[in-house]
């Protein structure tokens, strides 16, 4: 039976708000946020900005709100891949009789994202007023206006969580830089649930690279080496499982096996897992060299 998705209270037209696109800073320079972040660095927070103008008189009129009602502008985020969400910005809008400008500055924690992130901008009811229309929203948090943007995150780090930890506290060598914690035995396990990249809190250069909001040349080189190392470990670990190299083997979407197949397709286009395994065994030097080329070691943006 068909259903109609409508709110049980008055809401406003989309053109009540005039908004600019989200802006991000990359290497200190502002640019319009693309629909997809390629080679995304998951340890870096997303710093976003946007400006919008709200026609408050029209909003109150169309939503049936009196002057004593309070509304709030909220910018929030949700990452389906990690299951995390949060509020990045919140501002109560004054009871003005004119259009007002709002500048949003939001910081979204990179380590809590995976796969994609949805940016949600809303105007919600904060407190209803005595002079409101009988059909006006009355419950705090009721959404009066909403706009959403979906951002895809691409790169090895977008597929599973990261954690910064002192290696000696978990029995790992104190001078090591990173460690991929995962279960090699179940290739159908969801990558988000069993893959975790651990970064050594006691490693000075790693912690510096992880904390830079605008990565310098050294930080980019470090992450380039980590990306290659993680890809190598996942590919090699999967190739060691007989079921992975069986002809026609398939794996659940976003599973460990699915991630391994994606990495193999990038490193060895057109080759079957069995062929890649043979190459690894018979020509390990060539295997390593091809991985370096495929994952752009130390050169994340090569010239075409």
Structure tokens at 38: 């390629």
Report the sign of the C-alpha dihedral through residues 85, 91, 95, 99, in that order: negative
Domain range list for the chain = 14-154, 158-294
pLDDT bin (cut points 50, 70, 90) of residue 287 is very high
The pLDDT score that the predictor gives to residue 1 is 39
pLDDT at 214: 56
Is residue 169 over pLDDT 80?
yes
User: Does 275 have pLDDT greater than 90?
Assistant: yes
Taking each helix axis from N to C end, the angle separating 256-267 and 217-239, rounded to the nearest 10 degrees, works out to 110
Topology of the domain covering 14-154: Immunoglobulin-like (2.60.40)
Across 47-53, average pLDDT: 93
Alpha helices in the chain (DSSP H): 56-63, 191-194, 204-211, 217-239, 256-267, 273-282, 284-294
11 pLDDT band, cuts 50/70/90, is confident
pLDDT of residue 155: 58
pLDDT tens figures, 59-117: 999 999 988 889 999 999 988 766 788 999 999 998 777 888 999 999 998 878 877 78
Q: Please report, for residues 32, 74, 114, 239, the alpha-carbon distance to residue 107 in angstroms, rounded to integers and kept in the order given.
A: 16, 13, 16, 39
- Whether pTM exceeds 0.75: no
Question: How many other β-carbons are positioned within 10 Å of the β-carbon of residue 42?
Answer: 24
Q: Chain-wide mean pLDDT for the chain?
A: 85
Please give the biggest Cα pair distance in the chain. Answer: 80
Q: How many residues does the chain have?
A: 304
Top mean pLDDT of 53-62, 202-211, 219-228 is at 53-62
pLDDT of residue 303: 38
Give the model confidence (pLDDT) of 237-255 as tens digits.
999 999 999 998 888 877 8
Q: What are phi and psi of 5, to 5 degrees?
A: -90, 100
Are 73 and 123 a contacting pair, CB within 8 Å?
yes
Q: Which residues contact 9 (CB under 8 A, 6 or more apart)?
A: 63, 135, 136, 137, 138, 142
Scanning the structure block, which residue is given the tokens 């049936």? 64
Q: How far does the chain reach from its first CA to its final CA, in angstroms? A: 53
d(CA 112, CA 161): 7
Distance from CA of residue 218 to its chain's centroid? 23
CA 259 to CA 235: how far, in whole Å? 9
Does 172 have pLDDT greater than 90? yes
């Amino acid at each position: 039976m068909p259903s109609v998705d409508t709110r049980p209270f008055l809401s406003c037209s989309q053109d009540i708000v005039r908004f600019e696109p989200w802006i991000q800073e990359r290497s200190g320079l502002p640019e319009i946020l693309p629909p997809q972040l390629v080679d995304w660095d998951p340890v870096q927070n997303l710093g976003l900005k946007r400006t919008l103008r709200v026609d408050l008189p029209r909003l109150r009129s169309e939503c049936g709100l009196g002057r004593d009602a309070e509304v709030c502008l909220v910018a929030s985020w949700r990452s389906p891949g990690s299951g995390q969400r949060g509020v990045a910005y919140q501002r109560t809008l004054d009871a003005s009789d004119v259009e007002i400008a709002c500048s949003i500055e939001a910081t979204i924690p990179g380590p809590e994202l995976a796969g994609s992130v949805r940016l949600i901008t809303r105007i919600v009811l904060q407190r209803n007023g005595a002079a409101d229309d009988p059909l006006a929203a009355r419950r705090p948090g009721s959404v009066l206006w909403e706009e959403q943007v979906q951002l895809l995150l691409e790169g090895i780090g977008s597929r599973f969580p990261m954690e910064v930890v002192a290696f000696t506290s978990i029995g790992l060598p104190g001078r090591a830089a990173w460690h991929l914690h995962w279960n090699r035995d179940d290739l159908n396990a969801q990558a988000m649930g069993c893959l975790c990249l651990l970064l050594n809190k006691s490693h000075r250069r790693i912690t510096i690279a992880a904390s830079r909001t605008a990565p310098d040349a050294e930080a980019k080189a470090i992450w380039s080496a980590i990306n290659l190392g993680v890809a190598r470990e996942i590919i090699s670990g999967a190739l060691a499982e007989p079921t992975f190299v069986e002809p026609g083997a398939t794996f659940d979407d976003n599973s460990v096996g699915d991630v391994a197949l994606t990495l193999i397709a990038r490193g060895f286009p057109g080759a079957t897992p069995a062929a890649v395994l043979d190459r690894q065994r018979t020509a390990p030097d060539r295997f390593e060299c091809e991985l370096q080329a495929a994952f752009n070691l130390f050169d994340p943006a090569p010239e075409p």
